[in-house]
Amino acid sequence: MKRTISMLWIGTLLAGLVGCATSNDSNADLRQSQSLQTVVGTPGNTVVPQNPTIPTSLLGVQPSGSMNQFPADFGGAALRNGKERPVPQDRGMDHRPTELVLPGHEVEVPAGDQSTKTQTAFATLPSGTLILYDSTGPYGWLGELYGIASVNLASHFGTTASKPVIQYKVGDIAKYKAVIYIGSTYDEPLPVAFLDDVLAASVPVIWMYDNIWQLANRAADFVGTYGYNPWAFDVTPISQVTYHGTVLTRDPTNGAGMMQFSPFDDTKVATLATATRADGTTLPWAVRSGNLTYIGEVPFAFIDHNDRYLVFCDLLFDALAPTTATQHRALVRLEDVSPMTDPTAFKAIVDYLYANGVPFSVATIALYTDPLGAANGGKAQTMKWTQNAAMLTQLKYAVSHGGTLVLHGYTHQYGSLKNPYSGTTADDFEFYMAHVDPVTNNVVYDGAVPQDTAAWATARISSALSALKLAGLTAPTIFEYPHYAGSPTDSKAIKGMLGTAYHRGLYFTGDLGLTKSDMTHSIGLFYPYTVTDVYGWKIKPENMGNYEPEAYNNHPPRLPADLVTTAQNNLVIRDGVASFFFHPYEPLAQLQAIVTGVKAAGYKFVAVNSL
């Protein structure tokens, strides 16, 4: 049986620990879009907790299966009443001198911009989005991962720039149309220039989680101006966030807390989304006053398909593209199609999609191999496309009936190793190493393959493209990682050959380019719309997962109703895409149920290249 490892489900639970990596994947076997709880470790070893400050609850894969289960930095904030951690309350007491413009750097401020006291020169009119993130202390790595997430999502709307907030210079805000700041280090030493510019600017500013109290302390009258006072982090279990009437999930095991306010003047501040505690009481999840939007937590941690992460994805439109028209499009991809795929079942699916006006993609594996004979009675087997005329005919038929080929690796497995299952095509990783923990039954991401180089990665892609060309197929221009996982070296190299990818993303510390990528920590991301990621890939979204009738590696089944629910929840995104994949060996009736449900939710299926 093939296994579909899905990146959404890379339970980056150990992200605060040595060797933590997230996993991502798209394949028929690890049950890819399912809540794949994956623990990442150093090559060949299970991750061992190294930081005693990380709560015990974060030291392993959680039953919820949410992804990016990162620790939180509470600084010295003590727990009060077992429910909250107060934050500093020195309102209006930050009287540090204003940082002035250096001589020779004065410029005329564009009309309507009020940030005159901290303006610096810029050559063109403001454009793009500036992403600022924390970088100091023991959790500095976490700030960069959150920065990567923000950069990737903001790229949907245009150009981006990013840097640690401590590198902020007077007037930087004036160069951009919007600013995003992710507070992840408690009491990160925010530059006075940044605080002053935020208070004076007219462009949209999105502020997440930590250090909003520093802004409140710097303002002369923060509560009077913005209508709320950040009081304490509520650390009680919160499992729901409601946005535009849609109830989204939040992992209640997320112990990072959520900002609560006192006082809160709803005549001055708008509540954009509301969180619900276990006892049914509520608190604002995101608020907006003037040009400042504040989100009381980091929405990139503990996420899943139906998560409050979707709220953030939509709020970006308010700041970066407020006039965007509402539309809802859908994608479907046939997964793990190889020379060994059953041509009869495959044709039935193609005919159904074509007859119902549903464009589709075909994740095509260039060469089938089973070096250990796992699926062939212990006898090694390899099959090229040119050796199975019936299936090759059906693949060409698919292309002529609405199908777009996507390169899904060369062999979708690695050498003669069980990586982690059987060594057989479509079962295993190709560009990453992994194993199954015999005790927990979790998939553990171990790191890059032994000979990981740009030359090795490009050679595999060249071999794959040559094999498809030899079979008379048009070379794909879109790539999808087997099991959604590859190293930064692989990603950069493959992007140079195939500039578009159709998978979830796996990213590492160092990927923003300020430090060397060391793969010590990672974050897994899925997107509800196209983005250009930090590797330069134009990413086509896959955010729903796949039909999976059986539980595996601690992940529950995922049935048509589950995928349709995810599509319905994604309607909160005004211009979002509902995208799933389906294995041709599964019953056609299950695909029909998903397609029918997605259409009924209000989506229109489109070709992947139309996005």
The reply to whether 288 and 363 lie within a common domain is no
63 inside domain:
no
Per-residue confidence (pLDDT) for residue 76, from 0 to 100: 76
The reply to whether 474 and 366 lie within a common domain is yes
Which of 151-155, 276-280, 504-508, 550-554 has the lowest average pLDDT?
A: 550-554
- CB atoms under 10 Å from CB of 411, counted, come to 26
Token representation of residue 382: 């390899």
Parallel, antiparallel or unpaired: strands 531-532 and 538-539: antiparallel
Q: Among candidates 319, 287, 116, 295, which has minimal Cα distance to 205?
A: 319
Per-residue confidence (pLDDT) for residue 21, from 0 to 100: 33
Q: Is the pLDDT of residue 31 over 50?
A: no
292 inside domain:
yes
Q: Is the pLDDT of residue 468 over 60?
A: yes
Which of 120-124, 214-218, 324-328, 514-518 has the lowest average pLDDT?
A: 120-124
Please give the tally of structural domains in the chain: 2
Q: Is the pLDDT of residue 447 over 70?
A: yes
pTM > 0.85: yes or no: yes
The reply to whether 267 and 390 lie within a common domain is no
**Residue matched to tokens 């805000």:** 173
Residue 488, judged by CB atoms within 10 A of its CB (0-12, 13-18, 19+), counts as: buried
Taking residues 164-179, what's their average pLDDT?
A: 97
Q: What is the dihedral of CA 204, 205, 206, 210, to 10 degrees?
A: -170
**Residue matched to tokens 């202390």:** 137
The reply to whether 289 and 389 lie within a common domain is no
Residue after which a domain boundary falls, among 301, 319, 350: 301
Taking residues 171-192, what's their average pLDDT?
A: 97
Cβ neighbours of residue 577 under 8 Å, at least 6 residues apart?
328, 329, 330, 331, 528, 529, 530, 541, 543, 570, 611
Q: How far, in whole angstroms, is CA 127 from its chain's centroid?
A: 24
Per-residue confidence (pLDDT) for residue 534, from 0 to 100: 97
The reply to whether 519 and 372 lie within a common domain is yes
Task: Tell me the pLDDT band of 194, cut-offs 50, 70 and 90.
Answer: very high
**Cis amide bond preceding 263, omega within 30:** yes
462 inside domain:
yes
17 inside domain:
no
Taking residues 529-539, what's their average pLDDT?
A: 98
Any idea what the CATH number is for the domain that residue 596 is in? 3.20.20.370
88-133: per-residue pLDDT in tens?
999 999 999 988 654 444 444 344 333 333 334 444 678 999 999 9
The reply to whether 344 and 236 lie within a common domain is no
The reply to whether 433 and 546 lie within a common domain is yes
80 forms beta bridges with: 84
3-state SS assignment for residue 391: helix
273 inside domain:
yes
Task: Tell me the pLDDT band of 66, cut-offs 50, 70 and 90.
Answer: confident
CA-to-CA separations, 338 to 3, 425, 473, 483, 608, in angstroms, rounded = 15, 8, 13, 15, 20
Which of 123-127, 449-453, 456-460 has the lowest average pLDDT?
A: 123-127
Per-residue confidence (pLDDT) for residue 58, from 0 to 100: 26
3-state SS assignment for residue 165: helix
Contact 466, 460 (CB under 8 A): no
The reply to whether 227 and 273 lie within a common domain is yes
Taking residues 489-495, what's their average pLDDT?
A: 98
303 forms beta bridges with: 67
Q: Give the span between the Cα atoms of 332 and 154, in whole angstroms.
A: 24
Residue after which a domain boundary falls, among 261, 283, 301: 301
478 inside domain:
yes
CA-to-CA separations, 419 to 18, 182, 428, 540, in angstroms, rounded = 22, 36, 5, 26
3-state SS assignment for residue 328: strand
Residue 56 half-sphere exposure toward CB, CA atoms < 13 A = 0
The reply to whether 133 and 269 lie within a common domain is yes
Q: Is the pLDDT of residue 32 over 90?
A: no
55-59: Cβ within 8 A, 24+ apart: 55/255, 57/253, 57/255, 58/13, 58/14, 58/16, 58/255, 59/13, 59/14, 59/17
411 inside domain:
yes
The reply to whether 421 and 564 lie within a common domain is yes
Q: Is the pLDDT of residue 50 over 80?
A: no
331 inside domain:
yes
Per-residue confidence (pLDDT) for residue 101, from 0 to 100: 58
Count of residues in the chain: 611
The reply to whether 366 and 463 lie within a common domain is yes
Q: Give the span between the Cα atoms of 589 and 594, in whole angstroms.
A: 9
Per-residue confidence (pLDDT) for residue 5, from 0 to 100: 58
Task: Tell me the pLDDT band of 213, cut-offs 50, 70 and 90.
Answer: very high
Q: Is the pLDDT of residue 33 over 50?
A: no
76-79: Cβ within 8 A, 24+ apart: 76/186, 77/186, 77/233, 79/235
Q: Is the pLDDT of residue 254 over 90?
A: yes
Task: Tell me the pLDDT band of 78, cut-offs 50, 70 and 90.
Answer: confident
Any idea what the CATH number is for the domain that residue 297 is in? 3.40.50.880
Parallel, antiparallel or unpaired: strands 360-364 and 531-532: unpaired
Taking residues 401-430, what's their average pLDDT?
A: 98
Taking residues 268-272, what's their average pLDDT?
A: 98
Structural domain for 268, as ranges: 84-301
Task: Tell me the pLDDT band of 2, cut-offs 50, 70 and 90.
Answer: low
The reply to whether 294 and 362 lie within a common domain is no
Backbone angles phi, psi at 497, to 5 degrees: -105, -40
Q: Give the span between the Cα atoms of 560 and 402, in whole angstroms.
A: 23
End-to-end distance of the chain based on CA atoms, in angstroms? 33
Residue after which a domain boundary falls, among 241, 267, 301: 301
